[in-house]
Amino acid sequence: MRKLFVLVLFFKLILISNLLAQYDVEGNGKDYGIAINPVGALFSWYSLEYNIWKADRTGEINIPFQLLHNPFDTENDDHDLTIFSIGAQYRKFFSSEQQGFFVQAGFIHYNFSVDGKGEYRGESAGGSVNSVLFGFGYRMISKTNGLFWSAALSAGKGWGSVDSPNGEDVSNSGFTYDIDLLKIGYAW
């Protein structure tokens, strides 16, 4: 049920962002972008983003999503941890070319799932955490081929709960952060 909720939320975010964004063919000539963190993929940490750029090229709607499977713990014999997140952020650029420094604010929903292995097979737990984040970042974009690189840092407040495998409810509220050190993308 949670996966269906997240999927519906994702499609609603894309629809709303398309309705809110203003487009033209001037500026840097790019209306959309997609990016991936290639280093994270080496650690079963798939981090992608979809960008919709405003006509005046000073803002964008950013839809980040991540899928993590046993991050940094591939040797664990007791359980499998899977984390899926999706969000919506607005980025305000200080230039009119969709590059340079920007500030951002947004919302991210995290869904956690723990499934037991070996002697813990059949045990599972899960939950979700929501987070409101504010941050800043930087982007460099090629004028000729649409390739870009970006980095961002955000911090904020999170709330929610996740069940532990032994049935206890673990409260997850307080300080949250999101770090994107290397996103390589393509704009069209």
Bridge partner list, 106:
89, 133
Residue 146: partners with Cβ closer than 8 Å, 6 or more residues away: 30, 33, 186, 187, 188
CA-to-CA distance for 47 and 139, rounded, in angstroms? 17
> At 42, which CATH number?
2.40.160.20
The angle formed by the CA atoms of residues 5, 79 and 132, to the nearest 5 degrees, is: 40
Contacts of 166 (CB under 8 A, 6+ apart): none
Q: Can you tell me the distance from the alpha carbon of 71 to that of 43, in angstroms, rounded to the nearest whole number?
A: 6
Total structural domains within the chain: 1
pLDDT in tens, the chain (188 residues): 555 555 555 555 555 544 444 433 344 567 899 999 988 887 778 999 999 987 777 889 999 999 988 766 666 667 788 899 999 999 999 988 888 999 999 999 999 888 877 777 777 888 898 999 999 999 998 878 889 999 999 999 999 887 766 666 666 678 888 888 889 999 88
Give residue 127's domain range: 2-187
Cα–Cα dist 142/46, whole Å: 24
pTM equals 0.77
Residue identified by tokens 């590059």 is 99
